[in-house]
Amino acid sequence: MDLPSTALSCGFSGGVDDFAGLLRRKGFLPAAPGVPMAAAPGSEAIPQTQATTILAFKFQGGVLVAGDRRATAGNTVVYDRADKVLEIDRHSIMAIAGVPATAWEMARVLEHSFQFFRRTQLQEMSVDGKVRALSKLLRDNFGFVMQGVGIVVPIFATYDAGADPAARLYFYDAMGANFEVTDFAATGSGSPAVRGILYYENNWGKKPLLEMEQDEAVTVALRALDTAAESDTATGGVDRNARIFPVIKIVSQAGITTLPDKQIGALFKRSVA
């Protein structure tokens, strides 16, 4: 049976092409998730600002969460003091890799959601509730991810003060699936190098990550980010000249502690540089 001329003009060829394939060929969908769509005729694609790299791992004092400070758009360094480790409430941290504009908005929504629950229910939201709240935000954003914009791949760390008090650590994919980890997590463009460092330290270092004290844990985080910066241009690492250091926060039963640059710089000079 002959296809209508309107179908032929839209790009269907004998019924072998699906609708998503048609949209991709016409430029309305990216060739693959995370790949920006082709620019319209006569215009240029606008590069997205991206923020990487982040890591988190459990140690003797809780969960250490760290992120470098560089934000890029294509080959351009947009900003070298970006904050990718965001406090959501007194015991929860969201670290971001991906598009900062989307991630920061997610963080604001999460913060308001947790506050609203605490004030209306007169208790903290459960850890499972917090984890699912972030999953929902990522699922709601997946339509933009399919268009090649707004991708966010976060890490979430919190302290569970329930029946079995313990620090909890999760990483997510772009669709909102969450995975609890027992040791460490890393995302972003520099994450392959970071995971290699953390895996080595955890299995063949002087002691496993869980047995490390705070200074030892911070040293490992600095070494991992400095190593990633050597092979990944989107990772800032440590800027020795401008004295720009990663953001490092610790989640524990006492709450969230932000390490000052002076302390990080001293550890970097003594144990890394």
CB-facing half-sphere around the CA of 260: CA atoms within 13 A: 3
Q: Evaluate whether 244 touches 265 at the Cβ level (below 8 Å).
A: no
Q: Identify residue 209 by its one-letter amino acid code.
A: L
Per DSSP (E only), the strands in 14-154 are 49-51, 54-59, 62-67, 71-73, 76-79, 85-89, 92-95
Residue 251: strand pairing partners: 63, 256
For residues 11 and 9, give the distance between their C-alpha atoms in angstroms, rounded to a whole number: 5
Q: How far separated are the first and last CA of the chain, in Å rounded?
A: 73
For residues 149 and 153, give the distance between their C-alpha atoms in angstroms, rounded to a whole number: 13
For residues 155 and 259, give the distance between their C-alpha atoms in angstroms, rounded to a whole number: 19
Active-site residue, 52 included: yes
Per 3-state DSSP, what percentage of the chain is helix, strand, and coil (rounded to 5)? 35, 25, 40
Nearest residue to 86 via CA among 126, 134, 136, 132: 134
For residues 95 and 106, give the distance between their C-alpha atoms in angstroms, rounded to a whole number: 11
Q: Looking at 6, 49, 52, 187, which residue is catalytic? A: 52
For residues 231 and 158, give the distance between their C-alpha atoms in angstroms, rounded to a whole number: 30
Residue 130: strand pairing partners: none
For 248, the token pair is 């490092």
The catalytic residues are: 52
